Amino acid sequence: MINIKTLKIAAAAQGLNQSDLARLAGTSRQAVSLWFKSARNGFADVQSSRLMNLCKALKVTAEDLTQPLPDMGEQRRLTQTALLWDRLYPDLESFAVAACRRELQALARLVEVYGLYAAAKAAGRSVWSLFPDYQRFLPPGRRQNLERLWLLRNLPTTA
């Protein structure tokens, strides 16, 4: 049994649609469409060989695709409030996919809320290297502080 919501997020993070999933799983697009339509309680029955093909292609474990996404409870509500206040992204999953794809507005929001170091821990080193590209999306006061930090981090070291 595969968790459909988890599969959707994993596919979206890599920019894959149902046709792509079908190709990767070694099945038809109609079969993948049926997985999504016939899912009961968020789970669909998928042949183990198809599941293993998906795991290999998506670079995740079978356990990852068969488990529901973690329930963050109150932390989810607080995170949504901090990151989605202007409805730029419809939900945390969409925001996470955008950040994984290194979309500039998502990186800017992540840095605005959590700072450069924490954002880089969550989204990778590209948070630092892409800073000149996304800094225009930051509020002016926050941008000035982060520019100083970015410049300090990128000063050449003398040894």
Share of the chain above pLDDT 90, in %: 58
- Token code pair at residue 123: 């989204």
Average of per-residue pLDDT across 30-43: 90
Question: If DSSP states are collapsed to H, E and C, what string results for 91-140?
Answer: CHHHHHHHHHCCCHHHHHHHHHHHHHHHHHHHHCCHHHHCHHHHHHHCCH
| pLDDT at res. 31 | 92
| pLDDT at res. 159 | 58
Domain ranges for the chain, please list them.
2-66, 74-153
Cα–Cα nearest to 92, from 82, 101, 102: 82
CATH topology of domain 2-66: 434 Repressor (Amino-terminal Domain) (1.10.260)
- What are phi and psi for residue 85, nearest 5 degrees? -60, -30
Q: What are the residues whose beta carbons fall under 8 Å from the beta carbon of 117, sequence distance 6 or more?
A: none
Could you report the per-residue pLDDT of 70-100, keeping only the tens digit for each? Answer: 777 788 888 888 999 889 999 988 998 899 8
